[in-house]
Structure 1
């Protein structure tokens, strides 16, 4: 039996709609479990008020020594492995809204660039994020942590530097925004990535890499709010 062309086109159109629906659900399906883990933790131990909120990708998610590296600050870490800006925006009401922090630190964009997004798209997503924050907390400080020069992604260096430049230039024109510039501090004098700052995959920082971040971040975090021995 020969299927009419019109029926074939209708079937193709239906498949396209289904594919779009599946893609739209991808962030929820992929990251829902980790988001729920954070929500469960908040129910067991209510999160502190006026904390510093870290939101972003694996560079925050894998920061296992955060409490030791910045013991004098109250910090809530809501990093999720493989996160992109679209994922943060998708889960914004569950990962940002509940906390009402005194400061938000973002580290995101590396996966965006790796997956083909332009610097302009990353900047547009950042502006969308800022607008969401400003709608409820117009004066909260937002700091964007620059993309890092991991040797495993060095082939993307030009795109990463362009993304950093666009974000840095934009942030310089705005109130209550800060740029945490990690790039140069993670390079050798010859302008190449320091191999000693990364784990075996050469993409994610090791503890020495995180200590570079701490040294640059600390002055931007404001007055410490916890006493340490």
Structure 2
């Protein structure tokens, strides 16, 4: 179900450095960033069997580093996350990121790297909504959910901008026919700051404990979606 984003978090007195994602790769041909990762997706798609009614996970390294298959063993999954990706990167490669079979559900996390690269919250929200609109058009029966941008220790100074993106996307969710899942609060400690114990040493990417919290929320969402489909007798096709 669409959720509300909290804007009540205060910026800490100290300023932490913003970091670019360390797993962003430089390809042999700089005019085609991420070409190797995208080519790997294509090869995996050709060699592997079609996964009917799968859940497509789409976005940046928070998706790529997630053990999707192990976290959701009871559903078919397709991971289309690539490290360092911005929303415009996902839009650029969009046709090559889609699986052969229409997914039952789509989980999206992207936009964080856009802000880290200097994009405004307005531009990021616009690009995210453009991506979600394309997915809704291509998969009219699928359950589509956007995971809110996450607070992290190393990018905490960006949190006000992330919250602005979250608020805009959440406000448009019902009108545009997608769901908004607020995964930000589950990564906060009791003092309202990012819980460092849920992140890797880089202070940016989540560790297993952090991903467990995301998995619990997304698993509950997918269970509700499956129940809704069962009652209505519908599928993604």
TM-score scaled by length of structure 1: 0.80
Would you say 1:31 and 2:34 are equivalent positions? Answer: yes
Number of equivalences: 197
Residues 70-103 of structure 1, C-alpha deviation per residue, up to 9 Å, x if partnerless?
A: 2111110010000111011111111026442111
Q: Once the 2 structures are TM-superposed, how far is the Cα of residue 39 of structure 1 from its aligned partner? A: 0.8
Structure with the higher fraction of residues in helix conformation: 1
2:145 aligned residue: 143
Residues 24-53 of structure 1, C-alpha deviation per residue, up to 9 Å, x if partnerless?
A: x95x62111111111111111133021100
1:179 aligned residue: 180
1:49 aligned residue: 52
Quote the Cα distance in structure 2 between the aligned partners of 1:115 and 1:36: 25
Gap runs ≥5 in structure 2: 1-28, 228-237
Coordinate RMSD, CA, aligned: 1.8
Would you say 1:205 and 2:206 are equivalent positions? Answer: yes
Quote the Cα distance in structure 2 between the aligned partners of 1:125 and 1:35: 20
Quote the Cα distance in structure 1 between the aligned partners of 2:115 and 2:35: 23
Gap runs ≥5 in structure 1: 1-24, 225-229
Would you say 1:78 and 2:113 are equivalent positions? Answer: no
Quote the Cα distance in structure 1 between the aligned partners of 2:96 and 2:206: 27
Q: Equivalent of 1:106, from 105, 108, 120?
A: 108
Are the aligned partners of 1:181 and 1:216 in contact in 2 as well (CA < 8 Å)? no
Quote the Cα distance in structure 1 between the aligned partners of 2:99 and 2:75: 20
Are the aligned partners of 1:145 and 1:181 in contact in 2 as well (CA < 8 Å)? yes
Would you say 1:88 and 2:90 are equivalent positions? Answer: yes
Quote the Cα distance in structure 2 between the aligned partners of 1:145 and 1:37: 25
Matched position secondary structure for 1:173:
helix
Residues 122-141 of structure 1, C-alpha deviation per residue, up to 9 Å, x if partnerless?
A: 22112222332233322322
Are the aligned partners of 1:56 and 1:106 in contact in 2 as well (CA < 8 Å)? yes
Quote the Cα distance in structure 2 between the aligned partners of 1:134 and 1:215: 24
TM-score scaled by length of structure 2: 0.78
1:155 aligned residue: 157
- Give the structure with higher Rg (CA): 1
Matched position secondary structure for 1:190:
coil
